[in-house]
Structure 1
């Protein structure tokens, strides 16, 4: 992580807060990336085992949990609209229905 030097009028406390703010943003972004990766993994397993009637309920549950966690992390980052992400990840309707979406 790189830090910029404090501005001439900034106090040491303001400079420390700014550094902390940058670190928090970096962690939010990393957590969002991890959550997105989990969505990809669970959706891949769901698609690969689409014909397996025994495993499908568990795979749907896992995918729905991963997508829900991802949506929450996006919202924590200030990203409130999920339509583009739903299209990008091609999240199946069966998963979205489990989240209460139509």
Structure 2
């Protein structure tokens, strides 16, 4: 018998909720770092930077989806803080065509 659950039944779910919150924080942090790396690569790109632009759009889109899944619906602050360029924002969610 688990004495903690007998005394405080909510204690069993509290530990699980804490683990879920930690995983969410880790996941959102990793997604943000991916955006930072992709934006840096875009900034450093020579030539047209098409591949880097696509990678940046994909990283930002994934980051925004993760933020929305945990309840953050407004992205204006992170757009400003991460200095996400308009050219990246303009193509979010777009799927590049595949060349056969």
TM class by smaller structure: 0.7 to 0.9
Q: State yes or no: 1:17 paired with 2:13.
A: yes
**Gaps spanning 5+ residues in structure 1: where?**
1-5
Within a 5 Å distance, the mapping from 1:14-93 to structure 2 comes to 14-49=10-45, 51-53=46-48, 56-93=49-86
> Post-superposition, which runs of at least 4 consecutive aligned residues in structure 1 deviate over 6 A?
none
Q: Distance in 2 between matches of 1:41 and 1:91?
A: 12
Task: Please give the TM-score of this superposition, normalised by the length of structure 2.
Answer: 0.82
Instruction: Note the C-alpha offset of 1:87.
Output: 0.6
TM norm structure 1: 0.80
1:56-93 deviation per Cα after TM superposition (whole angstroms, max 9, x unaligned): 11111100000011101111221110001001111011
- For the aligned residue pairs, the C-alpha RMSD in angstroms reads 1.9
Aligned residues, how many?
Answer: 90
Give unmatched runs, 5+ long, in structure 2. Answer: 94-100
